[in-house]
Structure 1
């Protein structure tokens, strides 16, 4: 089980080191493979340890509780990561917009025929 946890951690480290925007999907592959193999090596023994620690008539409840806990943790992690990314993205967009306006400098609005005022001496046709 410890080998699986270490392999999953190594997969995360590989992804942090080599994944980039320009790398494409293949840059994800080594880290995802390591994480998947590591999770497979660690979750199966942990489920076995949880269920075998109880009498046979309670093993179904233990397995269900283990699955619910795992699903809840996954959903919570995705929600928190989504909130974190969306708040960071919003702040980055506002900062980029501020820097763009700051670099562009003050500008006068352009005049177009649509917002041009009518001359005072204009007569209706």
Structure 2
């Protein structure tokens, strides 16, 4: 992956780790995911891998799936509202859009108490 993808994933991961209760979770060598209470809310690639992102999008999933580089997440997760994004280097959405997807996924996976904590920050 080019440095642009690495830089975006790095910024997205750093931001994702600031939401209440978030922590890194790396169940596979090619992943460095974001989780809350051990429930993954963003599947992210490890450094040096192709850019990709998978999030649970209960509200904007249908809209997100209209993008040419989006598809329902494999392993049956797509049925639960998970969407995977695999854009080429020049197609990576801007960081604000990526953060919006990750935050929506966090809100879908996190305990209500932590979501309230996040809301109190805004």
TM-score normalised to structure 2 length: 0.22
Larger strand share, 1 or 2: 2
Larger helix share, 1 or 2: 1
TM-score normalised to structure 1 length: 0.21
Higher Cα Rg, which structure: 1
